[in-house]
Amino acid sequence: MPPAVRKVDMIYDTLRELLRDAAFPPAEPLSSRDLADTYSVSRTPIRDAFKQLEAEGLLTYIPEQGYFPRVADDVTLTRAYAERAEIIARARRPGANGRAVRRSSDARSTTFRELSRRAAVIAEDTPARLIETILLDVAAHAGDPKCLADARDNVATLAPMRLAEQILPDHVDDAARIVRLYRAGKYDELLRAFRDYSQKRVVAMPSLSRQILRPKVKPRTRPR
């Protein structure tokens, strides 16, 4: 494989993971110059990676402004928040998925210590990260690969909303309730808590997303 192609692939893979984890401010354009300096490459593989990521739906291009991290539309946001409770419900069902319910308190405590350690690194969005990690952990122990895959896709879809969730008045209390029930292994109550959490965000987040996360299209100026 030619070196130039390998560079494009490397940049694409790196940016893809960063975008899926909402590592870039959603309302600001990505700088090909800064990224080229960061990864010690020319701007050509950066631009090529941008085009691939736009085709994949992770970037949005606005003429004369550049490439922006894509934030899901209202319908997708609503569906994704509602899906979080459904993922917990699927993991709670008997049969192959029942392993999520039978996990020991020691296993839950180990996971909680790890997610707390990770979340503490990014203090400003800890509540959202805690909820994401609990969702992934429950799905991972459900004995259903599709449930885990859906949970991962869900986290990637809603990752840009982490900081916006801080505006909601109950975001810390909602996370604390979910963490408490998760640690206690009270899955019926955990499911109800996720449904309450999801419903609040189905109502509030589309509007917040439009206000603070989506890039503003600047009117084009006509040449004189």
Alpha helices in the chain (DSSP H): 3-20, 32-39, 43-56, 74-92, 105-121, 126-140, 145-158, 162-165, 171-184, 187-208
Tokens 């946001």 belong to residue: 77
Model pLDDT for residues 66-95, shown as the tens digit of each residue: 999 888 888 999 999 999 999 999 987 644
The DSSP code for 99 is: G
User: Do 106 and 63 have their domain in common?
Assistant: no
Summarize the confidence of residues 146-160 as an average pLDDT: 92
Same domain, 151 and 60: no
Same domain, 197 and 94: yes
Alpha-carbon distance 81 to 207, whole Å? 14
C-alpha 201/C-alpha 103 separation (Å) is: 29
Across the chain, mean pLDDT equals 81
**Count of domains in the chain?**
2
Q: Cβ neighbours of residue 171 under 8 Å, at least 6 residues apart?
A: 127, 128, 165
Residues 125 and 197 in one domain: yes
Whether the predicted pLDDT of 122 surpasses 60:
no
Residue 101 or residue 150, greater confidence: 150
Q: What is the pLDDT of residue 81?
A: 95
Residues 11, 88 within the same domain: no
- The proportion of the chain whose per-residue pLDDT surpasses 90, expressed as a percent, equals 41
Please tell me whether residues 177 and 127 are part of one structural domain. yes
Q: pLDDT tens across 39-51, in order?
A: 999 999 999 999 9
Host domain of residue 139: 74-212
Q: Inform me whether the pLDDT recorded for 168 exceeds 90.
A: no
Same domain (yes/no): 122, 180: yes
pLDDT for 116: 52
Task: Answer yes or no: do 65 and 83 share one domain.
Answer: no
Q: For residues 103 and 169, state if they share a domain.
A: yes
Give the amino acid at 37.
D
Domain boundary among 13, 46, 69: 69
**Residues 190, 93: one domain?**
yes
Q: How confident is the model at residue 167 (pLDDT cuts 50, 70, 90)?
A: confident
Q: Is residue 146 part of a domain?
A: yes
